[in-house]
Chain A
Amino acid sequence: GAGVSQSPRYKVAKRGQDVALRCDPISGHVSLFWYQQALGQGPEFLTYFQNEAQLDKSGLPSDRFFAERPEGSVSTLKIQRTQQEDSAVYLCASSLMGVAGGIYEQYFGPGTRLTVT
């Protein structure tokens, strides 16, 4: 079946521009996660949704980062007034159940590579 998809795959933004990154999770998956992966590093947690509820946003680095999942399916990560340090790959992952549901496997999309110039 279809996996997690993300768009765009590549995004170049001038410093100060706003960007929006989209994630389509696996159909029926309750949980959706966003991670940030800097070059040569492992993914770092940003935020977590269970259906449409954002239950954890402790990893968002600043108030310029905002995520939503209004209908409990597609999610958008928005970055306002982009800075050079925002350059990274942004990964989305989905999981079949909520974090208390006992199924923990997370499946990742291909990521969006954001370059801020």
Chain B
Amino acid sequence: GENVEQHPSTLSVQEGDSAVIKCTYSDSASNYFPWYKQELGKGPQLIIDIRSNVGEKKDQRIAVTLNKTAKHFSLHITETQPEDSAVYFCAARSQGNLIFGKGTKLSVKP
């Protein structure tokens, strides 16, 4: 079955810097790759996603890139703000279900 690896597990940046989180997946049939932001005590919130027929997608300060050949995808956050601090999860859609990475705890220091 699908396996998703996510790195790094923790990331600390200064406000205004960029943050990059990387994920790899194993199942070449996976066709949809969402990113979720989870704040303490809340459920995961969908922040951006990308389908397998697209290489890059951008939404304001957030962008996602996908390399199907290498089976990896990345989340890029520019001009980070303290409110970006949270745990971020990548996921891959395999046979209808989402398989999640273990998460990255992002801390943005003011």
Contacts and interface: CB of A to CB of B under 8 A. Distances in A.
Nearest to A47: B97
Contact of A111 (B43, B95, B96, B100): B43
Q: Is the interface of A mostly helix, strand, loop or mixed?
A: loop
Question: How many B residues are at the interface, by size bracket?
Answer: 20 to 34
A99 B34 contact: no
Nearest to A3: B43
Interface of A: 4, 6, 33, 35, 40-45, 48, 56, 59, 91, 99-100, 104-111
Given A42-B89, A43-B89, A108 B100 contact: no
Contacts of A6: 43
Nearest to A31: B96
Nearest to A9: B41
A90 to B, nearest CB: 11
A99 B45 contact: no
Interface in B65-91: 89, 91
B97 A48 contact: yes
B46 A106 contact: yes
B96 A48 contact: yes
12 contacts: A41-B102, A42-B4, A42-B89, A42-B101, A43-B44, A45-B98, A91-B44, A104-B49, A105-B46, A107-B46, A108-B36, A110-B43
